[in-house]
Amino acid sequence: MGAESQEEASDSARQQPDEERITRRAAIGRIGKIGVGVVAAAAIAGGGYYAYTTTQAPQAPTGGSIKMFSYSPLYAPDGYVSYLKSTFKIDLTSQLGSAATLGDQIVSGGGSGWDTAIFWGAFGKPIINANPAVLQPYDLSAVPKWTSANLDPLFSNPQSVIGDVMGPQLQRDMWWPGKIGQSFAAMPPMYGVDSVAQNAQHIDHLLNSWGDLMDRQWKGRIAIQDIPTVALNNFALYLVKSNQMTAPSQIDNLQKPEIDTVTNYLTPNIAAGQVKAFWADYGTSVNLITSGEVWAADIWNAAVFSARAAGTPTYYLVTKEGVDLWVGGEGVSAKVPSSKLPLVNEYLNSRLGGTWAYQAGLEAYQTPAWPSDEVKAAFPVEFYNWNFLGQATYQPIDSIVPGQPAYIANALFQPTQYKWSSASGTPSSNGNLKDRGSIKNIESNIGTLETWEDNASYYISSWTTVKQA
């Protein structure tokens, strides 16, 4: 398809080392060996990692090594690696692949060189259905912590959260074909949603719509991620909710006439100079916000905290039309022998435990088993209530970030820098609230799912037209 030849990365992206250029756009072209797809969300920059003890008694260690293949070091933070070593005598090592070509690497490698691989639902269909197989199914009994009592309803009953179209699609991206609810293809260790961020230094009120990115008062101060199958779907949400477009049967898998409708809306806005940049990698998105070049953008959750760490007050928003769900899944190589499966299963089950959930929580992400008693025990009470339940910090924001008006101070709050209390306490009436509120609130606003696109090539060609405006 030649997506990379059609669209060049920005100068700032080209100046970064390859290992720092976390790009999803390039996947649309590079995945050609196994079909047409798009990388779903989330590569996370840096951040500190902290171990927190749980109250659950460890199982008897079995011992051994596991090699994981993924796109980000976030999945093997020091605290979690140490926990596996001390509790199960498991040596977890990780190999990082290209975020842009992850699915291609997994399939073309035939499952060699790794025991487990973490990938997004957007790569799910070609990986799960590869012939010859690169994955092997593993039964629900292999991960006993996967129970309805432990899980977020998004995973125990996805239709009840995201409806009868996206719900079954999410299941198909997780479970083995014909074995939904019985055998995993890729159990998700982590998930999140993407939406819009804004620089609080330049916009003095919270935006709430994808359409706000096309408001002329922000002309030349907007960035959009250079991923057609994500960007076009987000603006389709806006057009549907504002009665400018008939609702598609599947808004995260648009048909050609529907893609044309979104293209016809965006093209004159782009021609008018509304968009400053189309960003193609994580670092560029952060730099655009922190430099002040861009005041609002559709970027990833972790980029907001990177911007705050750089001293730029930044908010992450709930768009009233809906936010964009991504889910990462962990599959087991078809080449793992049966003799090693008990060790692998022990490791996979730990992904639903408290130590791993705490590590992910520090980077503002969550695991499917966040409602479980074990996860609750692994978090300081105040942190758990803030991160998952939407409660305010015990300390008022003016003492956490002194010397700033509340609007700026809240946009500078960093969970890794705050001293969370392990005791029950009273949320301050002026405490910090997590952007977008509780997990329940965020999930109730899911509008699209990053999954396999049937018309990705048409998305690409239409996106080229938009950019050329």
Per-residue model confidence as pLDDT tens digits over 304-318 = 999 999 999 999 999
Of 333, 355, 378, the residue at which a domain comes to its end is: 378
Q: How many C-beta atoms surround the C-beta of residue 89 within 10 A?
A: 14
Looking at the fold, whether 143 and 273 belong to one and the same domain comes out as: no
Burial 7-24 (b: 16+ CB within 10 A, else e): bebbebbeebeeeebbbb
- Domain containing 64: what range? 3-192+325-378
Domain assignment present for 425: no
Domain assignment present for 397: no
Residue 22: which H helix or E strand, with range? none
Looking at the fold, whether 156 and 35 belong to one and the same domain comes out as: yes
Contacts of 146 (CB under 8 A, 6+ apart): 140, 187, 352, 368, 369
Looking at the fold, whether 224 and 341 belong to one and the same domain comes out as: no
Domain assignment present for 383: no
Domain assignment present for 427: no
pLDDT single digits (tens) 2-29 = 333 333 333 333 333 333 344 444 443 4
Of 361, 378, 395, the residue at which a domain comes to its end is: 378
380-385 contacts: CB < 8 A, separation 24 or more?
Answer: 380/52, 380/420, 380/421, 380/422, 381/421, 381/422, 381/423, 381/424, 381/425, 382/420, 382/421, 382/422, 382/423, 382/425, 383/415, 383/420, 385/427
Exposed / middle / buried, residue 442 (Cβ in 10 Å: 0-12, 13-18, 19+): buried
Q: What is the mean pLDDT of the chain?
A: 86
Q: Write the CA distances from 467 to 6, 197, 236, 264, 450, integer angstroms.
A: 11, 21, 17, 12, 22
Looking at the fold, whether 54 and 171 belong to one and the same domain comes out as: yes
pLDDT single digits (tens) 374-415 = 999 999 999 999 999 999 999 999 999 999 999 999 999 999
CA 156 – CA 72 distance, rounded (Å): 26
Looking at the fold, whether 14 and 92 belong to one and the same domain comes out as: yes
**Average pLDDT per run of 10 along the chain, which is 469 residues long?**
32 36 42 32 30 40 87 87 95 85 89 94 89 96 96 97 95 96 96 95 96 97 90 96 96 95 97 94 90 94 91 96 94 97 96 95 89 97 96 98 98 95 98 95 94 87 93
pTM for the whole structure? 0.83
Domain assignment present for 421: no
Looking at the fold, whether 65 and 153 belong to one and the same domain comes out as: yes
Beta carbons of 390 and 433 less than 8 angstroms apart: yes
Looking at the fold, whether 37 and 161 belong to one and the same domain comes out as: yes
Looking at the fold, whether 48 and 105 belong to one and the same domain comes out as: yes
Q: What is the pLDDT of residue 100?
A: 62
Q: How many domains does the chain have?
A: 2
Looking at the fold, whether 164 and 34 belong to one and the same domain comes out as: yes
Domain assignment present for 70: yes
Q: What is the pLDDT of residue 366?
A: 92
Of 335, 357, 378, the residue at which a domain comes to its end is: 378
How is 236-278 classified by DSSP, letter by letter?
HHHHHHTTSSPPPS-TTS--HHHHHHHHHHHHHHHHTT-EEEE
Which pair of structure tokens corresponds to residue 410? 């809240």
Q: What is the pLDDT of residue 62?
A: 66
Looking at the fold, whether 206 and 318 belong to one and the same domain comes out as: yes
Strand partners, 328: 120, 190
Q: What is the 3-state secondary structure (H, E, C) of 327-366?
A: EEEEEEECCCCHHHHHHHHHHHHHCCCHHHHHHHHHCCCE
CATH number at residue 101: 3.40.190.10
Domain assignment present for 305: yes
Looking at the fold, whether 277 and 179 belong to one and the same domain comes out as: no
Q: What is the pLDDT of residue 99?
A: 67
Q: What is the pLDDT of residue 282?
A: 80
Domain assignment present for 406: no
Q: Write the CA distances from 171 to 4, 178, 415, integer angstroms.
A: 31, 11, 32
Beta carbons of 218 and 203 less than 8 angstroms apart: yes
Phi–psi pair at 76, nearest 5 degrees: -135, 55
283-288 contacts: CB < 8 A, separation 24 or more?
Answer: 283/12, 283/13, 283/16, 283/20, 283/21, 283/22, 283/45, 284/10, 284/12, 284/13, 284/16, 285/223, 285/225, 286/45, 286/310, 287/12, 288/223
Looking at the fold, whether 252 and 276 belong to one and the same domain comes out as: yes
